Amino acid sequence: MRLPRRVVRQLTRGVVRPLLSPRFPLVLRRPLLDVTGRVVPLPRGTRRSRGTLGGVPTERVATREAAGPHQVLYVHGGGYQTGSPASHRALAAHLSRAAGAPVHLPVYRLAPEHPYPAAVDDVVSAYLALRDAGHPPQRIAVAGDSAGGGLVMALVLRLRAAGEELPGSIGLISPWLDLDLTSPLLAVNAGTDAMLDPNWLPDAVDRYLGVAGPRAAGAEQGQIDKRQIDTVLRPLDADLAGLPPVHVIAGGDEVLLGDSDTLVARIRAAGSRVDYLRAEGLWHAFPVFAGMLREADEAVAALGAAMRSDCAGGPASGPSGTTTSTSPAGGSP
């Protein structure tokens, strides 16, 4: 059921966007966003089941093409406050088909009831449990959108700080990485992003970090030291050398575009491999409309194929599009 881009843009701005506003009570936002996710059609033959990974409730989504043996851990977005497997089920199913692998969606704890580091802890627990179930890290791809992209980077940095082997592939869709909100594109693209209003982001940061702040929360739980907390919350300032292949997708009209631009530049400068689809004329997290929007279908198909290749040890072949950069550090854009 594909729709013209202008129609999907109007639906995003008129239906989805209002549900992300902090003026709307969370008790209503969460179920209504899940309902909007169910509107997007699933590929025929999609199967889903519920389980747990490391004590974290999880939904497993698999299409007929999901033969494996590799696995995908997908971390949904939603500003750390909303989102669930229901809101991202269609995206997960299309990614399963493209990657040829089951997709596991952890139901991580949400703010403000569970501030940082609860969500990071849950994602780490789910990943380690998937690995311990007999899936080598090289055969696991990790991916996420928006806040979920930030959690994926937090997962990778937490694993590296603990001396754990990293996953075989990383996929980031419109990742939210700068919680200090310093990018000038937040203001520049405020009028063009159909999904996000940058004025909502400070509220989401406050709820995610909690009243006591990230350092106090980490110290109370004894999870990680001060230096590691800073790194987990600020991936743009982290050492990005030695990462597995990273595949980044962003909309050229989105307010968080600066986060993707900066991450890609810093990964290249660190000598790691990265592919970048910077899709002009599209908004924040547009691939969630896979099944409805042609550009979303193409982006998810390319991401899935790249992750499949990475996990098989093959050459990188990441997403490509209107404005795309695909090169290792020092290569041509």
Collapsing DSSP to helix, strand or coil, 59 comes out as strand
| Radius of gyration from C-alpha coordinates of the chain | 18
Element (H, E) at 250: strand 246-251
Element (H, E) at 220: helix 214-221
Measure the CA–CA gap between 278 and 294, rounded to whole angstroms: 15
Compute CA distances 272 → 235, 317, 325, whole Å: 14, 15, 14
Compute CA distances 139 → 150, 167, 317, 319, whole Å: 21, 7, 17, 20
Structure tokens at 313: 């040890």
Measure the CA–CA gap between 155 and 151, rounded to whole angstroms: 6
State yes or no: is 96 an active-site residue.
Answer: no
Nearest to 121 by CA among 224, 205, 206, 202: 224
Give bridge partners of residue 106 from the DSSP assignment: 58
Give bridge partners of residue 239 from the DSSP assignment: none
Measure the CA–CA gap between 110 and 83, rounded to whole angstroms: 9
Active-site entry in 84, 87, 146, 169: 146
Q: Which residues are catalytic?
A: 146
